[in-house]
Amino acid sequence: MSAEEISGDMTDGFHLVVDALKLNGIDTIYGVAGIPITDLLRLAQNEGIRYFGFRHEQSAGNAAAIAGWLTQKPGICMTVSAPGFLNGLVALANATINCFPMLLISGSSDRAIVDLEQGDYEEMDQLAVARPHCKAAYRVNRPQDIGTGIARAIRAAVSGRPGGVYLDLTAEVLGAALDAETGRKSLVKVVDPAPSSPPAPEAVARALDLLASAQRPLAILGKGAAYARADQEVRAFLEASGIPFLPMSMAKGLLPDEHPQSAAAARSYAIGNADVVLLAGARLNWLLSHGRPPLWNEGTKIVQVDISPTEFDSNRAIAAPVVGDIKSVFAAFNAALKPGKVKPSGAWLDEIGRRKTQNIERMAARLNADPSPMNFSSALRAIRNALATQPDVYVVNEGANTLDFGRNIIDMDKPRHRLDSGTWGVMGIGMGYAVGAAAVTGKPVVAIEGDSAFGFSGMEIETICRYELPVTTIIFNNNGVYRGDPADRPYSPTGLLRDARYERIIEAFGGAGYHVTDTPSLTKALTEALASKKPALINAVIDPTAGTESGHIQSLNPKSAAAQKK
């Protein structure tokens, strides 16, 4: 059937889904077409919703997830049943672990057949599979429930701690008819989908008292703080109190990296020696060494601001928990902060400053070197130079060494402009995030990709070219995962094809390809690509011996206890 050919007094599942999405301000869908959602996608497009069709559902899901993080509206990914759903599920799980609001909406096969395992086309109990991997999962079984199903899914994704939500739409429901009036009445416009959650005054007082008692306070800002769009409130509090801060990776730019209170260049010293840490929208997970020694001091007291109370005491005791949304909490902090009440000691600020200068000088020597072939530092310096005058550019970054060096070397000036592998350190987000960011911001995107990382979503270069998005992909081509094959070990588990000409991939789709082997050419290619506002791919040849195993997290590789006992 064609979804448009229905008589005036009747509607159907296809129309109700589109009407419900539009009613709730959803204007973009990312997906891959097929049974049973093809007509749904066509109809959505006819009704003015933008549709981005991908080459793989994981990338469509990643685009939706990052769109959600950038807009505070759930990003929508639509897929076909079983295999398409499973491909999208990785992105849904990744969105959930990163607290990005996203909806994975998948068509599903005939429930009567699926539930009796009678072997339907793309048979799978998708709801059961999805449930452990997302924040909430729902199935709509009747057309008159579509409005409620979408409303619940939207609210679950964006309220409280944001996350991924799965919505199962059976083929039967999509095709089912309903009289138009009943259909209209069944739609739900979600009122205040992410209600603010102001903190309790006593929690605010406890937090400020603890910070006031500190000689050596430190703030750690997570991507939850960036998501909250509390840019002014957070900055005002940190500047009024003078507390030095560290941004987690995707919180870079919440305050500019150049800000004098940034302690990023003295990270270990600052964490290890703080007496009170203000943790805002960041979790004490592996990325912060669980808040434990040796990085952390046992005696450090922690103020934790989080939307989710179950986060407190997750890894160590929290002295001053503050439940609430970051914007409301920092507004309350600002209102309650008396001038001079919180005051880091001069010695603490001086020591952080001294170590920052020392570390920056040490890094400068590495950054200013110009080895041939390029290494991570020199190539990133070339990129940094090209980006220096372009603070609007969104930076996507994945890989191991490419990610770790990239995080340290590429400064961010604006909030929510750095999009990377996140909580899981996952590979494969690159091209999906690039498309999602370009789609919702209309701004240029530069994706800095390890050659292995790029491979996970590389076919989406065609998607980028098809939609003519202003995305420049830079591949750090060191012939492998972490580094190239050693000469005496071809086909090593970490090796990739030597000297691959990745730039020719984009040329196949009409984009601009560059092959660069030195830093001036890299800066020039990137500057040219950004000026063109068109799809480009720069194959940057990096010394295959430059990377280290696992980048900066080598210590997480298991070591054989047996070998150590020898």
Ligand X SMILES: Cc1ncc(C[n+]2csc(CCOP(=O)(O)OP(=O)(O)O)c2C)c(N)n1
Contact between 547 and ligand X per CB under 6 A: yes
400 binds, among Mg ion, ligand X, none (CB under 5 to 8 A by kind): ligand X
Residue 49 sits at φ, ψ, to 5 deg, of -85, 135
Q: Which stretch binds Mg ion (CB under 5 A): 61-69, 148-156, 459-467, 476-484?
A: 476-484
Place of tokens 């080895």: 371
What are the residues whose beta carbons fall under 8 Å from the beta carbon of 555, sequence distance 6 or more?
none
Of 114, 435, 453, 471, the residue at the interface with ligand X (CB under 6 A) is: 453
Min separation Cβ 161 and ligand X, Å: 23
Min separation Cβ 458 and ligand X, Å: 11
Contact between 482 and ligand X per CB under 6 A: yes
Contact between 436 and Mg ion per CB under 5 A: no
**Cβ(548)–Cβ(402) below 8 Å:** no
Rounded Cα distance, 544 and 541, in Å: 9
Min separation Cβ 133 and ligand X, Å: 14
What b/e readout covers 235-258, taking b as 16+ CB neighbours within 10 angstroms?
Answer: bbbbebbebbbbbbbbbbbbbbbe
Q: Which stretch binds Mg ion (CB under 5 A): 40-48, 156-164, 226-234, 451-459?
A: 451-459
Contact between 397 and Mg ion per CB under 5 A: no
Contact between 452 and ligand X per CB under 6 A: yes
Overall size of the chain counted in residues: 566
Min separation Cβ 550 and ligand X, Å: 7
Contact between 373 and ligand X per CB under 6 A: no
Q: Which stretch binds Mg ion (CB under 5 A): 223-231, 347-355, 429-437, 477-485?
A: 477-485
Rounded Cα distance, 337 and 349, in Å: 20
Residues in 374-413 at the binding interface with ligand X, rule: CB under 6 A = 399-402
514 binds, among Mg ion, ligand X, none (CB under 5 to 8 A by kind): none
Q: Which residue is nearest to ligand X (CB)?
A: 450
What are the residues whose beta carbons fall under 8 Å from the beta carbon of 108, sequence distance 6 or more?
36, 81, 85, 114, 124, 126, 127, 139, 168, 169, 170, 171
Contact between 231 and ligand X per CB under 6 A: no
Min separation Cβ 452 and Mg ion, Å: 5
Min separation Cβ 230 and Mg ion, Å: 36
Give the residue with the Cβ less far from ligand X, 91 or 274.
91
Give the residue with the Cβ less far from ligand X, 390 or 548.
548
253 binds, among ligand X, Mg ion, none (CB under 5 to 8 A by kind): none
Contact between 541 and ligand X per CB under 6 A: no
**Cβ(80)–Cβ(37) below 8 Å:** yes
Of 30, 85, 348, 476, the residue at the interface with ligand X (CB under 6 A) is: 476
Q: What number of other Cβ atoms are within 10 A of residue 337's Cβ?
A: 18
Min separation Cβ 404 and ligand X, Å: 8
Rounded Cα distance, 424 and 377, in Å: 24
Q: Which residues pair with 51 in a beta bridge?
A: 29
Contact between 451 and Mg ion per CB under 5 A: yes
Give the residue with the Cβ less far from Mg ion, 436 or 450.
450
Q: Which residues pair with 107 in a beta bridge?
A: 169
Contact between 481 and ligand X per CB under 6 A: yes
Where do the H-state alpha helices sit in 429-510? 430-441, 451-455, 461-466, 503-508
Contact between 59 and ligand X per CB under 6 A: no
Contact between 538 and ligand X per CB under 6 A: no
Min separation Cβ 496 and ligand X, Å: 7
Collapsing DSSP to helix, strand or coil, 392 comes out as coil
What are the residues whose beta carbons fall under 8 Å from the beta carbon of 394, sequence distance 6 or more?
417, 418, 419, 437, 438, 441, 443, 444, 445, 446
Give the residue with the Cβ less far from ligand X, 89 or 176.
89
The one-character DSSP state at 484 is P
Rounded Cα distance, 52 and 66, in Å: 14
Rounded Cα distance, 437 and 457, in Å: 15
428 binds, among Mg ion, ligand X, none (CB under 5 to 8 A by kind): ligand X
Q: Which stretch binds ligand X (CB under 6 A): 38-46, 147-155, 291-299, 425-433?
A: 425-433
Min separation Cβ 468 and ligand X, Å: 26
Rounded Cα distance, 250 and 226, in Å: 8
Tell how strand 177-179 and strand 10-12 pair up: antiparallel
Give the residue with the Cβ less far from Mg ion, 452 or 523.
452
Collapsing DSSP to helix, strand or coil, 432 comes out as helix
Q: Which residues bind Mg ion (CB under 5 A)?
A: 450-452, 478
Q: Which residues bind ligand X (CB under 6 A)?
A: 399-402, 425-428, 450-453, 476, 478, 481-482, 547, 551
